[in-house]
A = this chain, B = another copy of it.
Amino acid sequence: MADLIFRTVYGLILTIIHTIYAFYTSVRSTYNITRLRIASILNYHHRTPANIRKDVALLKKLPDHVAVILESKGKKEGGVEKLIDEVADLSCWCASVGVATLTVYQKTGMLKNYETPAHRAVSERLHTYFGSTRPTFRITSPHSPNAPSLPPNGDAVHDEEEVDLEINFVAQDDGRESIVDFTRALSDLAQGGKFNSEDVSVDLIDQEMKASVMGEPDLLILFTPRVFLQGFPPWQIRLTEIFHLEDNEGVSYTVFLKALHKFAGAEMRWGR
């Protein structure tokens, strides 16, 4: 009899715990999404750099180089226009907090064919944020030194000039392939006797990767619910903090801000 009571009570407790968990699981996703939406309203920056700077004012450190992975968009989701729109937003947020380099990884490299429209979009978006005193920027991509990085509206920036924000379009080909290319080039040099194999070092590859593709980002933001690097250049992410948010899908200012906070080692409060 005592055993029966024990079993019943035990079973009851288990059922209660299970119910709470099932409830939690189903509510969590809805909750997280709603929270992000409300936070977006609370944190809205009104396209004012001062507001964005205020949002990060208390952070102890900020990344110098931010990388993001953007999803390829189908026609339904807005295609390449949507991608360019996301790049324009990210550029403005980065420029506002003082990030010097923004690397945009997009697997197929679709963006690289749209450097000119992207340049125009970023330039216009920066104007709505900063007015006439907008920061200077440059769009580059590895393996396309001759790409038209000069904008059509005349505010051309020369390759040697210092700019406030360097935007770098990177694709799958710039990952493993770039290591292969470099290895091939070194072998060629060695074959011609112009190079000694003992000179190969981590530093040498580091320098080459930095020059030909990009340096090491401090922070990599994924706007996807899963952590999956999709062929992102592997050499460069040794010391990178990778940020993603459960249940999040899509680029938003709140996710960007949360990533900066996590990077600084700070918990976001007040719905941020």
Contact = CB atoms under 8 A, between A and B. Distances in A.
A227 interface: yes
A243 interface: yes
Interface in A196-246: 196-198, 200-202, 205, 226-231, 234-235, 237-244, 246
Given A197-B187, A202-B176, A226 B241 contact: yes
Contacts of A184: 197-198, 200
Contacts of A190: 187-188, 190-191
A161 interface: no
Q: How many copies does the complex hold?
A: 2
Contacts of A188: 190, 197
A232 to B, nearest CB: 8
A269 B231 CA distance: 31
A50 interface: no
A57 interface: no
A205 B227 contact: no
Interface in A1-54: 14, 17-18, 21-22, 25, 35, 38, 42
Given A18-B271, A38-B17, A227 B202 contact: no
Contact of A21 (B193, B226, B262, B270): B270
A80 interface: no
User: Which of A196, A200, A239 has the most chain B CB within a 10 Å cutoff?
Assistant: A200
B201 A180 contact: yes
B227 A238 contact: no
A17 B242 CA distance: 29
A239 B182 CA distance: 22
A227 B227 contact: yes
A179 B238 contact: no
A151 interface: no
A227 B198 contact: no
Interface of A: 14, 17-18, 21-22, 25, 35, 38, 42, 175-177, 179-180, 182-191, 193, 195-198, 200-202, 205, 226-231, 234-235, 237-244, 246, 262, 267-271
14 contacts: A17-B38, A18-B271, A25-B267, A176-B238, A179-B179, A180-B201, A187-B187, A187-B195, A187-B196, A191-B193, A191-B197, A227-B242, A234-B235, A246-B246
